[in-house]
Structure 1
Amino acid sequence: MSKTRRFTIRSKIVLGYLVVVLLFGVVLLILSAQIDVLQKENDFISHHDLDVHNLTNAIEKNVLDMETGQRGFMLTGKESYLQPYDQGLSEWNTNYDQLYALISDNPAQQQNLQNIKSHINRWIEIAGERSVLLKKEGDQDKVLAFFQSDPGKTEIDLLRSQLATFRNTEILLTEARVTDLANRSSTLLTIMYTLWGLIAALSIAAAFIVSGNIVRTLQEVKHTISDISRGGNLKQRIRVRTRDEVADLAHEANQLLDEVQEQNRVKDQLTGVATLFQNPTTLEGLSRLFLSELATMLEIPYSVLYHWKDNRLFRVAAYAGDGEKEHSLGKISLVPGEGLVGQSAIEQRVLRMNDLPQNYIRISSGLGHASASSLTVVPILFEGKTVAVVELASMKPLTEKAMELIKELTVIFGVSLHSTVTRMELQHLYDESQVLNEELQAQSEKLQLQTEEMQSQTEELQMQTEELYMLNERLESQKGTAENAVQELAATAHQLRISSGYKSEFLANMSHELRTPLNSMLILSEILAENKHHHLSGEEQNYAAVIHRSGKDLLNLINDILDLSKVEAGQMEVEFDDVYLDTLPEVMNQYFLKTAEQKKIDFRIQLQGPLPATIETDEMRMHQILRNLLSNAFKFTSTGEVALTISQVRLTDPEHAGQETEVIAFSVSDTGIGIAEDKLLQIFEAFKQADGATARKYGGTGLGLSISQSLASLLGGSISATSRLGQGSVFTLFLPLYRKGHEVPQEEQSSRLFVYETVGATAEERINTSSPHVEPELKNMEILLTPLEESLFRDRQILVVDDDIRNVYALANALEQYGMQVTSAQNGTECLELLEQGGLRPDVILMDIMMPELDGYETTRRIREKLGLTQIPIIALTAKAMKEDREKCIAAGATDYLSKPLNIKDVLSRMKLWMSHEKMEI
């Protein structure tokens, strides 16, 4: 991997969130500054203006108190009436100074306040102090004269007018400030909405940029893989310019394509070599061709081949030997156990020597010679017996891939060698029989000369003898020809078995390689889709559900390909048992009710009587065929209806002189796009649909109908199809009728109709009226456990043994959500160490089978036999899906078996079964 900094998907998402958080931070700073300014303005109005009004009122009150005290004292002469006067006289200057300081920001108001002060001082001077002094002197006439003239009234009136004007001015200023504050608050709201809109726009833009960057790379990978799958061009590679997890995915996919391409290349080479080996008719010619192919394919410059015959090894061919020095080719013959060649023949194993001494083996050409540094001796076996040994010399040690290819070539050569030797022996026997036949003919001629005198009497007998003799010759000739044909057919059949074995092994290995990463993807996507901790948004939860469904589609495709391979190889098994027809509508309803509701089309299931209660067939295979037919009907129908009709019909059997036979017909009809008449036959071929445009529009691999037709044949039935373009199609599955038990009562033999409408009721209501065994898509993906199940799983010790860290991570995350304690081991050796040295005693062991060093089979055996841990449930996990894998796992000591990719519900179900079983035993 590049050492440059990786910009992962997580980094992109975090960057998007950081941008949003940063924008919110900027907005908060701006808003806090504006709010602080408004708060200061509000405080100014609340304190400053209120103090101004209070002080203004206080000054006016001081003047009124002085006027009131002055008048009371003048009228009564009592000193107590001077108290308000004295208090107002002492306070008004203080209030004036405070008010003058508060309005320092308004010179005009300060000038008005100074005028008020001058009038107050004027009133005190001419009215207040003077009148009090007159009253104290006791001159009543002067007092009366003062009241009559009242010089202070003018000042008081003017003072009240000035105070009112001053107060009104301040009120207007306060109102102006309040209005300005309201305007600024409105402006702040506008700024808030504007910033919110700007943040929303920038957040959406950041989301689109980040998600677009992620989705664009994923789409590039998806389109490349889709092009590869449609075009079948394994030379094409995924090119991703990002440095994130998508690039890692592309790198792994490219490596897988390289391995598949290399395997195909080797397979093609082996097929070509197997074809070439059929041409030579002599042992020497076949051996020279074999050595020549080794030299061409593996660049092996020197080789010798020994043939096992009569308990000795004879040299029959050499490649690049030195003709002038016959001893350079090695010994002409060897006995078993003599030298490396003889020892390899006895032990039936490959012997290798490197760093050979100088001149041990000379490899020469026209220009010179050199010494070989590596020697490899390979036995060639047929049916467990050594038939030949090949000795190879090279300038450098052979690689492991080269050794694997040599082993494959020796297997093919061993078959061809045995066939050639057998053919040569037969030819030798035939030649000897011809010589004996000639000798017998000469002796017959001599006897004929000796019995010429008896020829007349035995002429008739002689003619019969000659006819029999000629007939015998023809029979001998035909016998030889037939034997040769049988041998050739046997060899061809054996080659086909070998090729079929290669294909089956290749599919099994590919299944393992694809299911292993698919296992962790399905488990983790299911955990994300459950969203038990509510960390994901609804949209992100939908993304996880889409990934989970896509993984399941990929798993179905792998299963279809394996099913097709099993059918072609004759390895598909069926199990016949009684199948109740009455349960079929409910089962099909569970599978397709949600699809009908989503597409807003009618779905009808009709049982047309009379029908038997049961038929004898393989229920799983029958359901598989009907699901394929109904899936196609829903896929190609956008309006109208899809119907499944079950009836009993009579068919004419042409193989039994037109005899009629009773069968059960399962007819799937739709109002979809239909199929052209000239395309009806080809849709049952593998990887074929009606046309390329249909495949592009509706998707699919084209395997469903091919597998369904093959399964129908295994069940003793067939599938027919009728269709009209643009009007719909009818696919009918015919299965043999075996009457079991009792038939449907006469009163119930009328036509029964199961109609599941897609309107008028919610999906949840429909599910509640059907069987509890509903498809996962009809329910929430979250697994709900009963309190008993939760207590059963809580604090259980689980040991996960798997060399793929992705599977360990996925399983650990899934199981720990239910309170289980998960311990992991990356291979069989580490597992045994944990159990033996660490003293770990888990409640369940999840054992991967395909592991390096020590595989799951051997690890399980040692746990059972060496460690004696026979009570711990061991559930075998394998991505290979061949029929013998389960038997091998159980034979090794496994308690149960699950194939990858794993469904976490199945894992929990199996674990619950064996935990409950263990608890019952205790």
Structure 2
Amino acid sequence: MTKQHILLVEDDIPLLKGVHDLLDMAGYRVSTATDGMDGLSFLKESPSRPDLIISDIRMPNMDGYEFLEEVRKNHAWLEIPFIFMTAKGEKRDIRDGKLRGVDDYVTKPFDFQDLLISVQATLGRRATLSAVHESRMEALKRRILNVLNHEFRTPLSFIVAYADLMASSSEFEYSDDLRQYIAGILEGSERLSNLVESLLALAEMESGISYSIQDTRKTIIDSVDQILFNVIASLQKKIERQEVQVNVDVCDPVPRLECDPVYLELAMRHLIDNAIKFSPAEQGAKVEISLQREDNMLILSVTDYGRGIPQEEVERMYDTFYQVNRAEHEQQGAGAGLPIVRHVADLHGGSIIVNSAPDQGSTFIMRLPIYIE
């Protein structure tokens, strides 16, 4: 368990050392500073903020009040609880500190047990407030995503459905121009629908909600290959439009997975869609898909023979909204696909890697642990 971190600010060196040692013996990690300026320097240079600050009031260079005010000015430190140490009977100090938002006081000379009780109570209150805040934020995120789910998906589903109905209907005679317009509406609405699905999924994943969502949807999947073939079938129009030959090699039998089928299908879709998208625009272009077992892992590899990915872009391509070779591929999307694939792999205890070089194509390899009873 990680020790809670306390910053102790006191100009009386013997007292500083004594309190440090006592807090250390009580199981806390303690950093020290000899005045407010020294404390500010520590906060600016420290890679992580402390869980609590204990500070004297009367100090040279920068006293406790000034130190508290400077800490409260910085949004990154705003929620760090603060305990003042003050001489016994200095009621004005206590009143002034409360006006500035200090969390608690201990009066000197103090019994260490009193200080320890104050530390435990202050940290406990802050932990409770943080838990309540996180719970409310989690509920707010869910409400926002539920609204977005409904307000985006519902109208888009109508547009896609009616455009598809018009495009495939034989009841009406359309002019060539009108058929072209309908085809454009259908293609654009399908693209927008896929984008909305991706952005909503990415929002779930990056907000942390995906862990609880996955727990409710996780199941044992006996037919991973069927999910793969369904994804390929759903991309058939794009495959034909791009004139890409898709070759599929699936092991027999296909091992089972314990996973979220919605997220798995989404990851497969993005990997295959990217391979089609980045295939060369020439006759005979190929995409190769392989689903194989390797020890206790199921390996999905998707290969295209396009322009490949420069090494300097490989490092960044899993960044949210980063787009590879944007200048050459204006229609590649919003840059949400590969971050989604990475999140899906991480959620299921797997991994995603890419082997790529300029003008040699790319192979994306997703590894997922198989289900073993």
* TM-score, normalised relative to structure 2: 0.62
Q: CA deviation at 1:493?
A: 5.1
AA paired with 2:209? Q
> CA RMSD for the aligned pairs?
3.8
Q: Distance in 2 between matches of 1:614 and 1:280?
A: 49
Q: Distance in 2 between matches of 1:613 and 1:498?
A: 40
Matched, 1:671 2:294: no
Residues 221 and 256, structure 2, Cα contact 8 Å, conserved in 1: yes
Matched, 1:614 2:253: no
Residues 577 and 619, structure 1, Cα contact 8 Å, conserved in 2: no
Matched, 1:697 2:330: yes
Q: Find the counterpart in structure 2 of residue 320 from structure 1.
A: none
Q: Find the counterpart in structure 2 of residue 555 from structure 1.
A: 193
Structure 1 pair 589–702 and aligned structure 2 pair: CA distance change class (3 A): closer
Q: Find the counterpart in structure 2 of residue 737 from structure 1.
A: 370
Q: Find the counterpart in structure 2 of residue 266 from structure 1.
A: none
Q: How does 1:179-218 map to 2 (within 5 A)?
A: none
Structure 1 segments of 4+ aligned residues over 6 angstroms from their partners = 274-277, 279-282
Q: Find the counterpart in structure 2 of residue 569 from structure 1.
A: 207
Structure 1 pair 516–631 and aligned structure 2 pair: CA distance change class (3 A): closer
Q: CA deviation at 1:699?
A: 2.5
Matched, 1:629 2:271: yes
Larger helix share, 1 or 2: 1
Q: Distance in 2 between matches of 1:683 and 1:714?
A: 19
Q: CA deviation at 1:570?
A: 2.8
Q: Distance in 2 between matches of 1:589 and 1:506?
A: 32
Matched, 1:714 2:357: no
Q: CA deviation at 1:625?
A: 1.3
AA paired with 1:680? V
Q: Distance in 2 between matches of 1:637 and 1:693?
A: 16
Q: Distance in 2 between matches of 1:709 and 1:604?
A: 24
Q: Find the counterpart in structure 2 of residue 645 from structure 1.
A: 290
Matched, 1:601 2:224: no
Structure 1 pair 523–725 and aligned structure 2 pair: CA distance change class (3 A): same
Q: CA deviation at 1:620?
A: 3.4
Residues 628 and 704, structure 1, Cα contact 8 Å, conserved in 2: yes
Q: Distance in 1 between matches of 2:179 and 2:143?
A: 38
Q: CA deviation at 1:575?
A: 1.4
Higher normalized contact order (CA 8 Å, seq sep 6+, divided by chain length): 2
Q: Find the counterpart in structure 2 of residue 259 from structure 1.
A: none
AA paired with 2:261? E
Q: CA deviation at 1:676?
A: 1.1
Residues 636 and 698, structure 1, Cα contact 8 Å, conserved in 2: no
Q: Distance in 2 between matches of 1:553 and 1:667?
A: 24
Residues 277 and 332, structure 2, Cα contact 8 Å, conserved in 1: no
Residues 228 and 265, structure 2, Cα contact 8 Å, conserved in 1: no
Q: Find the counterpart in structure 2 of residue 799 from structure 1.
A: none
Q: CA deviation at 1:551?
A: 1.6
Q: CA deviation at 1:675?
A: 0.7
Structure 1 pair 578–506 and aligned structure 2 pair: CA distance change class (3 A): closer
Structure 1 pair 527–606 and aligned structure 2 pair: CA distance change class (3 A): closer
**Could you report, residue by residue, the CA deviation over 1:648-703 in whole angstroms, capped at 9, with x for unpaired residues?**
224xxxxxxxxxxx211111111111111122131112111224425x52320111
Q: Distance in 2 between matches of 1:537 and 1:712?
A: 47
Residues 579 and 616, structure 1, Cα contact 8 Å, conserved in 2: no
The secondary structure found in structure 1 opposite 2:201 is helix
Q: Find the counterpart in structure 2 of residue 332 from structure 1.
A: none
Q: Find the counterpart in structure 1 of residue 31 from structure 2.
A: none
The secondary structure found in structure 1 opposite 2:359 is coil
Structure 1 pair 592–692 and aligned structure 2 pair: CA distance change class (3 A): closer
Q: Distance in 1 between matches of 2:145 and 2:124?
A: 31
Q: CA deviation at 1:541?
A: 2.4
The secondary structure found in structure 2 opposite 1:735 is strand
Q: Distance in 2 between matches of 1:510 and 1:739?
A: 37
Q: Distance in 2 between matches of 1:559 and 1:589?
A: 17
Q: CA deviation at 1:592?
A: 3.9
Q: Distance in 1 between matches of 2:193 and 2:254?
A: 36
Residues 641 and 670, structure 1, Cα contact 8 Å, conserved in 2: yes
Structure 1 pair 738–684 and aligned structure 2 pair: CA distance change class (3 A): same
Q: Find the counterpart in structure 2 of residue 195 from structure 1.
A: none
* Residue number among 214, 234, 242 corresponding to 1:591 in the alignment: 234
AA paired with 1:678? E
Structure 1 pair 494–680 and aligned structure 2 pair: CA distance change class (3 A): farther
AA paired with 2:243? K
Structure 1 pair 626–517 and aligned structure 2 pair: CA distance change class (3 A): closer
The answer for unaligned runs of 5 or more in structure 2 is 1-72, 84-97
The secondary structure found in structure 2 opposite 1:698 is coil
Q: Distance in 1 between matches of 2:257 and 2:82?
A: 56
Structure 1 pair 717–275 and aligned structure 2 pair: CA distance change class (3 A): closer
Q: Find the counterpart in structure 1 of residue 64 from structure 2.
A: none
The secondary structure found in structure 2 opposite 1:521 is helix
Q: CA deviation at 1:483?
A: 4.6
* Residue number among 168, 184, 201 corresponding to 1:546 in the alignment: 184
Q: How much identity, in percent, do the aligned residues show?
A: 22
Structure 1 pair 713–479 and aligned structure 2 pair: CA distance change class (3 A): farther
Q: Distance in 1 between matches of 2:161 and 2:227?
A: 31
Q: CA deviation at 1:519?
A: 5.1
Q: Distance in 1 between matches of 2:361 and 2:163?
A: 37
Q: CA deviation at 1:593?
A: 4.3
Q: Distance in 2 between matches of 1:496 and 1:711?
A: 23
Q: Find the counterpart in structure 2 of residue 521 from structure 1.
A: 159
Q: CA deviation at 1:552?
A: 2.3
Residues 561 and 703, structure 1, Cα contact 8 Å, conserved in 2: yes
AA paired with 1:665? I
AA paired with 1:595? K
**Could you report, residue by residue, the CA deviation over 1:497-517 in whole angstroms, capped at 9, with x for unpaired residues?**
545544544444445444465
* TM-score, normalised relative to structure 1: 0.27
**Could you report, residue by residue, the CA deviation over 1:571-601 in whole angstroms, capped at 9, with x for unpaired residues?**
2224121323554564344234443333233
User: How many residue pairs align between the two structures?
Assistant: 278
AA paired with 1:735? L
Which has more radius of gyration? 1
